[in-house]
Amino acid sequence: MINSHAHLDFEEVTGIVENAVAIVPSVGSQNWTAVQSYPYFALGIHPWMVEYHEQQDLEQLEYLIKCNNPIAIGEFGLDYARDIDKKEQLHFFTSQLKLAQRYDLPVIIHAVKSTEDVIFLLKKYPKVVGEIHGFSGSEQQAITLISMGFYLGFGLQVTNPKSTRLQKIVKALPIESLLIETDDHPNAQDLSLVAETIAEIKQISVEKLVTQCDNNAISLFRLQ
């Protein structure tokens, strides 16, 4: 079972998740080295961290991408729920999209209250594909992103009985476009719970759901 988005290097997390292979994104220069101890890591600058980064960090990021073969660029994106300079966020977002295009790598996108802008900007880089992790947009936006070759990641949020809107979206989407994740709660039970919930929504076996999500992650991130 592949965990498509897990911050395994955070201090409060102890040990590697059992029975799960994980895609481990970074959030900025502070953990670009730490994430590299995992087989499947991504390098990027999270929108919450843009204030602590400068142009030369983007240059350093490009250097590390060239030398260290990350499986993706991320986590990066746009977060309009936070009071973080929008212009700054947009600069780091487009800069990292350009890197993805230049080095032919998939992207791991954080989009909170910004899905419309994310779609608008992704359309300018039609060769770039990736995962919208922790998807929180509308059903229409989900369909648009899928038509652009993107995969949508769903985590613990979908297991909350109150998340009826999200569950309705999951029900409407093809399983060929879904990924399962735990984000910053990377333990095995949480990932299983997400898989069980989505399987129930889709009325298929957990095994079928997990196999499909694993294949989705393998194909997007070109895992071997």
Alpha carbon distance 21, 5 (integer Å): 10
Pick the closer one to Zn ion by CB: 131 or 183.
183
Q: Which residues inside 17-76 make contact with Zn ion, applying CB under 5 A?
A: 75
Pick the closer one to Zn ion by CB: 155 or 199.
155
Q: Return the residue matching tokens 């936006």.
A: 141
Half-sphere CA count of 29, side-chain side, radius 13 A: 14
Smallest distance, Zn ion to C-beta of residue 121, A: 19
Q: Return the residue matching tokens 């069980």.
A: 196
Q: Is 185 annotated as a binding residue?
A: no
Smallest distance, Zn ion to C-beta of residue 208, A: 27
* Contact between 41 and 21 (Cβ < 8 Å): no
Q: Is 133 annotated as a binding residue?
A: yes
Pick the closer one to Zn ion by CB: 9 or 75.
75
Pick the closer one to Zn ion by CB: 79 or 183.
183
Q: Is 110 annotated as a binding residue?
A: yes
Burial of 203 (0-12, 13-18, 19+ CB in 10 A): exposed
Smallest distance, Zn ion to C-beta of residue 27, A: 7
- What is the enclosing helix (H) or strand (E) of 123? none
Number of residues that bind Zn ion (CB under 5 A): 2
* Contact between 131 and 151 (Cβ < 8 Å): yes
Summarize the annotated binding site for a divalent metal cation as residue ranges: 5, 7, 75, 110, 133, 183
Question: Which residues are at the interface with Zn ion (CB under 5 A)?
Answer: 75, 183
